[in-house]
A and B are shown apart, each in its own frame.
Chain A
């Protein structure tokens, strides 16, 4: 045996010595002996090394000898978009260190960057780009493609592209650590015993496409952003380990697709964020074969596992199914128990681990109602990501009668996921542009919320410009209001009926009447803020058509003052000044006169009723309007303030304001009004002078008594005991009294030790 080997050993050593002795190095460069690679190849002997220095060389090179072609300083072989660039027709050829670019794009001719038609080629450290096929291997057994970057023609649509690597009847290949981008597939067909290791395949149709290739190892590859990460078909004993299949979407969108695959092993792969994590179609195919799935992470896919036909003789162990929108869809094989599910982690498992052994004490069952509905009514998939789906599943949990049969059952599920320890991850880095933009978003959001509400310099300009218009409006001629046949209905209730009156310049008109007489409604109609029938003209303008213009000439003080609680006095004045186009510069005198000058930073909600009344008057006077409409102007004021307020109104009238106001106070009407309209249930019953009102006082009056809160109840009791009809009224009580004996309730309360803060009278039961 030892002697029989000697001749072969001798011949091998001899050949090695001969080649070493005679191997030469030919140099191709612009200044060297050979200008072109083809001329160097013509002169080279088998075993020679051709060193190609930097520069651009034309393509369509054919290598017929076992030579080593080495690029130094990245020489470029350019095909000018014609034909195949390098054709290798001899065994044991090495091509290393070149930029190989611009092949033809004929699919029928199968134009390629490198076409290998012999065994044991070594293609390494090359950058092959803009080529139809990257490396095309035909019966190139034992060839190696290593550390190369291969990119297809990005301007072609995917069906028009060639494959980045195509292996055809080429066994025992080693394809490792390549960067493959923008092609159709990496195809391994009829090629047994190959190793595909550490490659990164992006933006392709099928990252890896195996057909009729057995006993291959696929390890540490990353297939991202393809239509399918790895599609393994019609093959046996393929081992996939520690690969990453992520973000593979598109028409198919499988992380891993298996079709008619037998005795495959998928272990410790990461299958993340694909449309379908693992797609299984008739795998295993043969009765004697088994598929093994172990230690894989199947996470964040729209569907974790989708089975097209059957799922039998498959073993799933220690896989982690993490938050796939649908963990599994077992298609027609939903009752196929022969598949074994054991010790897998399911993120939607709701069991417990009382034994604390890391495994759930009750089985995991995939039996979501919506998933069950989906298998029978695929149209319903349109509802995914809606709360309605969660409601349906919740209903199924709450009412077991509608719970579907389990799609699968894992008898002993894991409580926590298991992550592969030796799996290298993707190299994802922070994205500076993205981060910058989001910082801009955050700052914009803060500015929008905090900055936009601040006043700008332009606001003063608005006020200035429009104040001029305001002044013009005031000087437009004699102030005049004409109301003819005013009628206002609220549903079936007539609030005002056929009311007519007029108001001249510098005139003051009081609307007098009981509660519900329609005084407030008249003012609202005049302001144009409620629709009405009849005709109202102010300065010759119709209020319905010119409501805004008219409101700009009217200062209005409502009976019940409601400002924006969150604004302070100054902000409130600013806000209404801007709306009225009035400068706030002249308002300080008014504020002083109204005793509001030291209240400017106070929130309006903290102002007393009287202070609010003064603020309303200050606002009404903004822009110096010719008309003042006042609704019970002194209702909330104490005796001293009331006197001051009336003096102020008298002064305003003297200054030329026309005043229309509603009131029930004789002192007020007598002091301010020139004429009085007496209203009753919306109708004008009398026009008179203020002094004529005295004789019209009714036989009963309403006395309002203002008390401390804790005294109100005892005061009501006391007065009712004395025969009065007393009721609560806001911060006091109201009592019906004889006009000739008005003060008796007050003296009664005083004698009972109940302190009276203030009081008020109303005739005819007005309030």
Chain B
């Protein structure tokens, strides 16, 4: 039975958050995310503003794309350099020589950076949401907040993946390189592979849908679209299949998959961190 001190986790998380505030990458990511979401909302909503048409469709599509690009990159890269960076600088051994367990360190990193990401995302979504509300868009407030929730879950999945990378690598540069490769795989190569597979080996609707659920970025996208559109018909036959089979359970299913991704990856990170040790 692992005894976990939540006080320790709180103390180190707080320091992680302080580090994040002073981390130039985190600041750059936050500014980019807030700036781009503001710009996308502005252009998305103001195009036909003379006619009072503030449709969320275009803005939402842009926001989902933005989130798909930026948020996993933020989470994976910040997670990847966290433990590896400390290991490389030598601070990890000093931290572990204190009355702190490796599990507490992994959880603290996750919590601290996760909270920083939450702050960053809420600022970005807050700014774009302000414009959406100002233009009187038709999106329901609940749907918008659910989109924020899904994005936060995606950031936590990405962070957990980053921590897993970080738990086994010594150099932060190596960890950053691997994290970018993983990000590219999740965002691009995985989908291209699946797209090619479905053409070559003729995946049927069911196989394609379940194959997509393996990729957490796809799960986020499906969840975000379900939130905004109330169904997945926009995704054609596969979307209709998903909605027909899961109906109103779709969102809980997507949330559960993301939660499983977070839990399993964190457990694995903890295991690998203990195995890899401080050196």
Residues of chain B contacted by A558 (CB below 8 angstroms): 90, 93-94, 97
Within 8 A of A (CB), among B62-117: 64-65, 68-69, 89-91, 93-94, 96-101, 115-116
Task: Check if B18 sits within 8 Å of A453, measured CB to CB.
Answer: yes
A434 near B144 with CB under 8 A, answer yes
Structural contact, A379 and B233, CB atoms closer than 8 A: no
Q: With a CB–CB cut-off of 8 A, which chain B residues contact A379? A: 198, 203, 205, 208, 236-238
Residues of A within 8 A of B119 (CB): 444-449, 452
Interface centre among A379, A531, A565 (most CB of B within 10 A): A379
Binary interface encoding of chain B residues 16-27 relative to chain A, with 1 for a CB under 8 A from any of its CBs, else 0: 011111100000
A551 contacts the other chain (CB 8 A): yes
Most buried by B among A323, A381, A382, A529: A382
Residues of B within 8 A of A645 (CB): none
Residues A297 and B48 in contact in the complex (CB < 8 Å), given A438-B133, A564-B19, A579-B99: yes
How many Å from the CB of B2 to the closest CB on chain A?
Answer: 11
B168 within 8 A of A: no
In this complex, what residue of A is CB-closest to B8? A579
Query: A578: CB under 8 A from chain B?
Result: yes
CB-CB nearest in chain B for A417: B47
**B32 interfacial contact with A, CB 8 Å:** no
Cβ-defined contact, B101 with A547, below 8 A? yes
Known A323-B58, A419-B50, A531-B277; judge A382-B130 contact (CB<8 A). no
Contact A442–B122 (Cβ < 8 Å): yes
Number of interface residues of B (CB under 8 A): 93
For the complex, is A299 an interface residue (Cβ under 8 Å from B)? yes
Compute how far the CA of A524 lies from the CA of B234 in the bound complex, rounded to whole angstroms: 58
Q: Is the CB of B52 within 8 A of A270?
A: no
Does chain B have a CB within 8 A of A556? yes
Name the one of B14, B124, B239, B277 contacting A382, with C-beta atoms under 8 angstroms. B239
**Residues of chain B contacted by A373 (CB below 8 angstroms):** 199
User: Does any Cβ of A come within 8 Å of B121's Cβ?
Assistant: yes
CA gap between A561 and B90 in the complex, in Å: 8
A492 at interface by CB-CB < 8 Å: no
What residues on B are CB-neighbors of A391 within 8 Å? 188, 192
Is the pair B141, A426 in contact by a Cβ cutoff of 8 Å?
no
**How many A residues touch B, CB cutoff 8 Å?**
99
A382 and B232 alpha carbons, distance in the complex (Å): 9
Bound together, the chains give a CA A69 to CA B135 distance in angstroms of 42
B148 within 8 Å of A (CB atoms): yes
Interface: B272 (CB within 8 A): no
Q: In the complex, which residues 574-618 of chain A have their Cβ closer than 8 Å to any Cβ of chain B? A: 575-576, 578-581
CB-CB contacts below 8 Å: B216-273 with A: 218, 221, 225, 229, 233-239
- Mark A231-274 against chain B: 1 for CB-CB distance below 8 A, else 0: 00000000000001011011101000000000000000010110
Contact partner, A437, options B20, B124, B141, Cβ 8 Å: B141
4 A-B pairs with the lowest CB-CB distances in the bound complex, closest first: A381-B236, A434-B133, A273-B55, A428-B136
Given contacts A428-B53, A566-B22, contact A445 B121 (CB under 8 A): yes
B123 at the interface (CB under 8 A from A): yes
Q: Tell me whether B212 is interfacial, beta carbon within 8 Å.
A: yes
Q: How far is it, in angstroms, between the C-alpha of A445 and the C-alpha of B123 when the chains are bound?
A: 5
User: A430 contacts B136, CB within 8 Å?
Assistant: yes
A554 to B205: give the CA distance in the assembly, Å.
61
Contacts of B123 in A (CB 8 A): 441-442, 445-446, 449
A388's contact among B21, B130, B192, B279, by CB below 8 Å, is which? B192
Verify A225–B90 contact, CB threshold 8 A: no
Kindly state the separation between the CA atoms of A571 and B97 in the bound complex, as whole angstroms. Answer: 18
Most buried by A among B116, B192, B195, B238: B195
Within 8 A of A (CB), among B128-177: 129-130, 132-138, 141, 144-145, 148
| Residue B179 interfacial (CB < 8 Å) | no
Once the chains bind, are A429 and B136 in contact (CB under 8 Å)?
Answer: yes
* B91 and A562 within 8 A (CB): yes
| Shortest Cβ distance from residue B146 to the other chain A in the assembled complex, whole angstroms | 13
Considering the complex, give the chain A residue whose CB is closest to the CB of B88: A562
Contact B97 A453 (CB under 8 A): no
Distance of A324 from chain B, by nearest CB (Å): 9
Interface string of A377-388 (1 = CB under 8 A from B): 111111111111
Set of chain B residues within 8 Å of A374, measured between Cβ atoms: 236
- Judge whether A426 and B94 touch: CB under 8 Å: no
Q: How far is the CA of A273 from the CA of B51 in the complex (A)?
A: 13
Within 8 Å of chain B (Cβ to Cβ): is A427? Answer: yes
A280 to B11, CA, bound (A): 63
User: Contact: B234 with A384, CB < 8 Å?
Assistant: yes
The answer to whether B48 touches A386, judged by C-beta atoms less than 8 angstroms apart, is no
B40 to chain A, nearest CB (A): 12
Assess whether A225 is in contact with B138, with CB atoms less than 8 Å apart: yes
> Which residue of B21, B50, B148, B236 contacts A425 across the interface (Cβ within 8 Å)?
B50
B55-A300 in contact (CB<8A): yes
Cα separation A579 to B192 with both chains bound (whole Å): 47
Say which residue of A247, A462, A579, A580 sits within 8 Å of B55 (CB atoms).
A247
A752 interfacial by beta-carbon distance below 8 Å? no
- Asked if A549 lies at the interface with its beta carbon under 8 angstroms from chain B, I say yes
The one of A275, A443, A448 in contact with B234, judged by C-beta atoms closer than 8 angstroms, is: A275
**13 contacts across the A-B interface (CB closer than 8 A):** A244-B51, A270-B51, A273-B57, A374-B236, A382-B235, A386-B218, A392-B192, A438-B125, A442-B123, A452-B14, A490-B279, A529-B96, A558-B93
- Shortest C-beta distance, A395 to chain B (Å), equals 9
User: Are B11's CB and A449's CB within 8 A?
Assistant: no
* Given A441-B125, A558-B93: A300 touches B115 (CB 8 Å cut-off): no
* Distance in angstroms between the alpha carbons of A529 and B218 in the assembled complex: 39
Q: Is A530 an interface residue (CB 8 A)?
A: yes
Q: How far does the Cβ of B192 sit from chain A's closest Cβ, in whole Å?
A: 5
Chain B CB within 8 A of A450 CB:
yes
* Residues from chain B with Cβ under 8 Å of A299 in the complex: 47-48
The answer, yes or no, to whether A190 is at the interface (CB within 8 Å) is no
**In the complex the two chains form, is B127's CB within 8 Å of A442's CB?**
yes
Q: Which listed residue, A247, A275, A466, touches B138 by the CB 8 Å rule? A: A247
Tell yes or no: B118 within 8 A of A by CB. Answer: yes
A460-507 residues with Cβ-Cβ distance < 8 A to B are 462, 466, 490
Query: Contacts A529-B97, A564-B15, A579-B8; is A273 near B187 (CB within 8 Å)?
Result: no
Interface positions, chain B 172-205, Cβ under 8 Å from A, are: 187-188, 191-192, 194-195, 198-199, 203, 205
Considering only CB atoms, which chain A residue lies closest to B95 in the complex? A579
Q: B61 in the interface, Cβ–Cβ < 8 Å? A: yes
| Cβ-defined contact, A434 with B55, below 8 A | no
Residues of B within 8 A of A441 (CB): 122-123, 125-126, 129, 148
For residue B64, give the distance in angstroms from its CB to the closest CB of chain A: 6
Contact A381 B121 (CB under 8 A): no
CA A264 – CA B177 in complex, angstroms?
59
Q: Which of A433, A437, A466, A579 contacts B98 (CB 8 A)?
A: A579
Q: Are B97 and A425 in touch, CB under 8 angstroms?
A: no
Contacts of A579 in B (CB 8 A): 8, 11-12, 98-100
Residues of B within 8 A of A419 (CB): 50-51
Q: Is the CB of A548 within 8 A of B55?
A: no
Q: When chains A and B are docked, how far (Å) is the Cα of A272 from the Cα of B50?
A: 13
**B205 with A426: CB separation less than 8 A:** no
CA A449 to CA B36, docked complex, whole Å: 20
CB–CB B130/A435 < 8 A: yes
Contact partner of B91 among A251, A270, A459, A564, CB < 8 A?
A: A564
> In the assembly, what is the distance between CA of A529 and CA of B278, in Å?
8
Contacting residues, chain A, for B209 (C-beta < 8 A): 382
Say yes or no: is A759 at the interface (Cβ < 8 Å to chain B).
no
Cα A671 to Cα B262 in complex, Å, equals 54
Q: A246-B55, A387-B187, A548-B99 are in contact. Are A380 and B17 (CB under 8 A)?
A: no
| Residue in B closest to A246 when the chains form the complex, CB atoms | B53
Measured CB to CB, the closest approach of chain A to B155, in angstroms, equals: 13
Cβ-neighbour of A562 out of B55, B89, B238, B279 (below 8 A): B89
Which chain B residue shows the least CB distance to A565? B89
